[in-house]
Structure 1
Amino acid sequence: MPVPDEQGKHKRSLLREQAYVSLRDAIISGTLAPGEKLRDPELENWLGVSRTPIREALARLEAAGLVHTLPGRSTVVSTIERKTVFDAQAVAATMHALAVRIAVPLMGKGEIAAMVEANRDFAAAFAAEDAAAAMHADDAFHGVAVVASRNEVIPGVLEQVTPVLRRLEFRRFSSLTGRQSIAQHKRIVSLCRRGDADGAAQATRQNWETLSLLIDVEDL
């Protein structure tokens, strides 16, 4: 079979991913606020990429609920809707609990050490009042079980629902309300270390369900 004529495939894929991550993170942090119009020329100047990867990135963001297209084809940053957050939280909690339940029997010392290190980074981010670093460490912590589960479906489902939750968690990690996750993470690690898959899964579900406490008090 001859090499396809298409050129620069990986480069274009990288640009598309970079555009998606930059836009996603800007929406999560509030740099791009709810209701703000996203105009292609402005995004091209900011990101330094052409319209094609931008439009592809926006399509992914719309599927994840971070933007939506209005009549006339203008794209705007979505507002944070209570039902959307609750729906996403229910799926995320279920998927992470499932990942942990599957992963615990497969975990070794390396995975446990990675979780401990990620939670240490998580605590340090809170001490430094660095919400972005806290979210990165939280992703790393929960990502250990997702990878260890070896379930190829779970990451795709989480990529679909997690960005919506991260907008709320950025607020949470910017305040003291998220500090309880440090202790919750420690409990999850302890249960994983003991080989208690059901207990670790339940603790993981509870960790993700604490977001609902913030939903109740936040003006969405």
Structure 2
Amino acid sequence: MIHSSSSQKIKRTSVREEAYMILRDWIVQGDLTPGQQLRDKELAEQLGVSRTPIREALLRLEDEGFVETKPSRSTIVAPIQFEGVLNLYSIVWTLEKLAMEQAFAFIEEKHLMEMEGINHEVKKAINEGNQIVAVQKDDEFHSIYINLSRNDEIKRILSGLKQKLIRMELFYFKQVSDVHLTVDEHDQIIQALRDGNLTLVLNMIEKNWKESYYRIQAHSERVKSGEDKYEQ
């Protein structure tokens, strides 16, 4: 079988959408690994559906860059490539800053306390080496003010973009030694919000995403340098 959780079956009415969501989650979380071949018959049997929604899900995932179809017509999980990822990060921090501008007037102390609680969970997950929980909680932290923006278009666009970034961050999580610094950056966002300093808040949101990118970039370059040296 392709995935260990073979008991998972699709039950809801929207078979097409749920098949897509399950396969995307498996790819993002690394249960389906980069380069792994995907066979629609096996996936359909595992999820208890026909091959049609699986094929539709794979086409959608290919459009989004999560899977690739080779000339031989075999479909594989797309490799994780660092090149070009800065474009994704820059769009995310730009949209998050816009969301914060629209949410700023609605943020209350209860929201700040919720962000503090989530950030504590981020720190705990990082300390325990639980990369999936750490990344999920990080996403929840940012979702507080994104949801308060009341801008459904921003939420929709960010949701799709962040799945690609989450996949990359999960892939690099154990190799990035200073990932814990994101907790401090979150604290700085909260403090700036508590001080009512919107300019600083926006700067800190951009810094948080930029630093996440730089941390992964540094590791990626070390790996590449090591490979180049080995090849020589």
TM-score normalised according to structure 2 size: 0.81
Letter in 1 for 2:16: R
Contact 1:58 1:67 (C-alpha < 8 Å) held by counterparts: yes
Counterpart CA distance in 1 for 2:21 and 2:119 is: 23
Letter in 2 for 1:202: N
Return 162-171 or 179-188, whichever deviates more.
162-171
Measured against aligned partners, the alpha-carbon deviations of 1:159-199 in whole angstroms (never above 9, x if no partner) come to 23212211221134335331000100111111112222221
Higher relative contact order (CA 8 A, sep 6+): 1
Letter in 1 for 2:151: N
5 Å-filtered alignment, 1:42-57, equals 42-57=42-57
Counterpart CA distance in 2 for 1:42 and 1:177 is: 40
Counterpart CA distance in 1 for 2:65 and 2:84 is: 8
Counterpart CA distance in 2 for 1:119 and 1:60 is: 33
Letter in 2 for 1:207: N
Q: Within the alignment, does 1:188 sit opposite 2:177 as a pair?
A: no
Contact 1:105 1:197 (C-alpha < 8 Å) held by counterparts: no
Structure 1 regions of 5+ residues with no counterpart?
1-9
User: How many pairs are equivalent?
Assistant: 210
- How many angstroms does 1:133 deviate by? 0.6
Over the residues paired in the alignment, what is the CA RMSD in angstroms?
Answer: 2.2
5 Å-filtered alignment, 1:1-220, equals 11-13=12-14, 15-175=15-175, 176-213=177-214, 214-218=216-220, 219=223
Measured against aligned partners, the alpha-carbon deviations of 1:131-152 in whole angstroms (never above 9, x if no partner) come to 1111110111010111001111
Return 143-152 or 18-27, whichever deviates more.
18-27
- How many angstroms does 1:59 deviate by? 3.2
Contact 2:182 2:212 (C-alpha < 8 Å) held by counterparts: no
Measured against aligned partners, the alpha-carbon deviations of 1:99-154 in whole angstroms (never above 9, x if no partner) come to 12221222112321221111111111112211111111011101011100111111
Return 16-25 or 74-83, whichever deviates more.
16-25
- How many angstroms does 1:22 deviate by? 2.7
Contact 1:82 1:215 (C-alpha < 8 Å) held by counterparts: yes
Counterpart CA distance in 2 for 1:57 and 1:202 is: 38
Letter in 2 for 1:187: Q
Structure 2 regions of 5+ residues with no counterpart?
1-10, 225-232
- Secondary structure at 2:151 match in 1: coil
Contact 1:104 1:196 (C-alpha < 8 Å) held by counterparts: no
TM-score normalised according to structure 1 size: 0.85
Assess, with a 3 A threshold, how the Cα gap between structure 1 residues 17 and 192 changes in structure 2: closer, same or farther.
farther
- Secondary structure at 1:76 match in 2: strand
Counterpart CA distance in 1 for 2:17 and 2:126 is: 28
- Secondary structure at 2:188 match in 1: helix
